Amino acid sequence: MRFITYNTKNFRKIEYLRYLSEDVKNEIAIVSKVIPFKTNNYVVDYLIDWDNYQDDPIYILNFPNRHMLREEQYEMVRRGVEQKLAEKDLYKIINEIRMGLNPHPAQQITNIPKLNGENLKGLQHKYQDIVLFFPTQGQSCHAHCTFCFRWPQFTKELDLQFSMREIDKVIAYIREHEYIHEILFTGGDPMIMSPVTLNRYISEILDAELDNLEVIRFGTKALSYWPFTFLPAFNEEAEQMLSMFKRIVDRGIHLSIMAHFNHYVELDNEIVQEAISNIRLTGAQIRTQSPILKHINNSSEVWARMWNDQVNLGLVPYYMFVERETGPFEYFQITLQEAYQIYTDAIRSTGSLAKTLTGPVMSASNGKVQVMGIVENPLDGNKYFMMQYVRHRDYKQTYKPFFMQYDENATWVDQLNQMRVNR
């Protein structure tokens, strides 16, 4: 199967675009100047229901619409395009808007570690036992999610990317910190790299024989956006990818594919199901994660079905996230109390094997905060969110419940006040 990419420049070639009015196409062209846009022939041919595209979750996941920008932002770009501004003047406007979209939420920039005094710009070390590695060649995806929390990785005009290719420095860093047990390849999507490139990184890691390294993870949406990556019958490189997975597992390292699925429709065809089966045959495990997104999956029925389908396919539900405050988050965000309600309604409707999941969780500056409950204090009659850190920069702070004052409109932990104890 040949991979055909559609982006801001050529998306009008998509045959199904006959379903869209000229106004909608022009809006895509304008908004996609700010929000990185990319889709491909598998997504448009297999995942989107074009008869109902306005409400289709995968259409909304891939195609920008004008409501993803504030009205004044949309107008600024529209006028710039209409006036045929020189590229550098147009990008001045676009980049100003982008910088206002909180490009690096949760102070990720502070997670960059040093080796011998040098910043490792493609590594993040936030939690004691794991490092995140952003290989230079993996800083794109087979398609781009409109809500993407890593969108600066795709905006070359701004120098905001995390990335590096010097795996020797990554290895030296892991060796120096014996309490690091895991490396997560992330991006972008590391599975967009050819198996030859990825194998080079993996071979160096395996050859280094790091005693402390127990787990390798790949954060990826390839199962959803290009499952042919794992199908030798359609893609001659797939065999190499699967052999590499097997080689990692055979070395006694736990390999976990951190698969990103936002909706059950992404699991609902034989292509992805065969890809899942091929990965599992290598001995790798597949864990799943996604944020809750208005217009895409803000319904407990969607989540319950997605988790049940995942378990039936042998996947392990892992995280349900709250949408991060970056990019067009105002379009996608829901309140914490809604997220908690969706989570509880959904998890109650699943079989016990789906209850491996942790949610709803915010990836905040200090760590991953889970909303554990909404409780009423019988002494003062006030409501509170009960929360805990399931990951924290300081691991001693994890799994200690705390209370924040309830606010039905809050969408992030920073908007809440901690419960005061009156003595």
Q: Which of 94, 106, 141, 304 binds ligand SF4 (CB under 6 A)?
A: 141
Q: Which residues are paired to 417 by β-bridges? A: none
Cβ-based nearer residue to ligand SF4, 125 or 144? 144
Question: Judging by DSSP bridges, how do beta strands 358-363 and 285-292 pair with one another?
Answer: unpaired
Q: Name the one range near ligand SF4 by CB under 6 A: 75-83, 137-145, 162-170, 296-304.
A: 137-145
Cβ-based nearer residue to ligand SF4, 221 or 305? 221
Cβ-based nearer residue to ligand SF4, 80 or 291? 291
Cβ-based nearer residue to ligand SF4, 162 or 389? 162
Q: Is 188 in the site for ligand SF4 (CB under 6 A)?
A: yes
Q: Is 184 in the site for ligand SF4 (CB under 6 A)?
A: no
Q: What's the rounded Cα separation, in Å, for the pair 140 and 161?
A: 11
Nearest approach, Cβ of residue 163 and ligand SF4 (Å): 13
Closest C-alpha to 60, from 153, 141, 144 = 144
Q: Is 221 in the site for ligand SF4 (CB under 6 A)?
A: yes
Q: Is 148 in the site for ligand SF4 (CB under 6 A)?
A: yes
Q: What's the rounded Cα separation, in Å, for the pair 109 and 125?
A: 10
Nearest approach, Cβ of residue 396 and ligand SF4 (Å): 31
Q: What's the rounded Cα separation, in Å, for the pair 305 and 24?
A: 31
Cβ-based nearer residue to ligand SF4, 188 or 328? 188
Nearest approach, Cβ of residue 95 and ligand SF4 (Å): 19
Cβ-based nearer residue to ligand SF4, 126 or 392? 126
Cβ-based nearer residue to ligand SF4, 33 or 150? 150
CA distances from 236 to 79, 170, 251 (A): 46, 30, 24
Q: Is 217 in the site for ligand SF4 (CB under 6 A)?
A: no
Nearest approach, Cβ of residue 120 and ligand SF4 (Å): 20
Q: What's the rounded Cα separation, in Å, for the pair 330 and 67?
A: 9
Would you say 47 and 58 are in contact if contact means Cβ atoms under 8 Å apart?
yes
Q: Which of 20, 77, 97, 145 binds ligand SF4 (CB under 6 A)?
A: 145
Helix axes 270-281, 238-250, angle to 10 degrees: 40
Q: Is 144 in the site for ligand SF4 (CB under 6 A)?
A: yes
Q: What's the rounded Cα separation, in Å, for the pair 298 and 143?
A: 22
Give the start-end residues of each E strand in 41-133: 114-115, 118-119, 123-124, 130-133
Count of CB atoms situated within 10 Å of the CB of 177: 16
Cβ-based nearer residue to ligand SF4, 315 or 404? 315
Q: Is 150 in the site for ligand SF4 (CB under 6 A)?
A: yes
Cβ-based nearer residue to ligand SF4, 145 or 198? 145
Burial label, 140 (beta-carbon count in 10 A; 0-12, 13-18, 19+):
middle
For the segment 248-287, give every residue that binds ligand SF4 (CB under 6 A). 260
Cβ-based nearer residue to ligand SF4, 132 or 141? 141
Q: Which of 27, 56, 182, 189 binds ligand SF4 (CB under 6 A)?
A: 189
Count of H-run helices and E-run strands, the chain:
13, 15
Nearest approach, Cβ of residue 7 and ligand SF4 (Å): 13
Number of residues that bind ligand SF4 (CB under 6 A): 10
Nearest approach, Cβ of residue 188 and ligand SF4 (Å): 6
Nearest approach, Cβ of residue 272 and ligand SF4 (Å): 15
Q: Is 66 in the site for ligand SF4 (CB under 6 A)?
A: no
Quote the tokens at residue 98.
């982008």
Closest C-alpha to 188, from 144, 230, 158 = 144
- Binding interface with ligand SF4 (CB under 6 A): 141, 144-145, 148, 150, 187-189, 221, 260
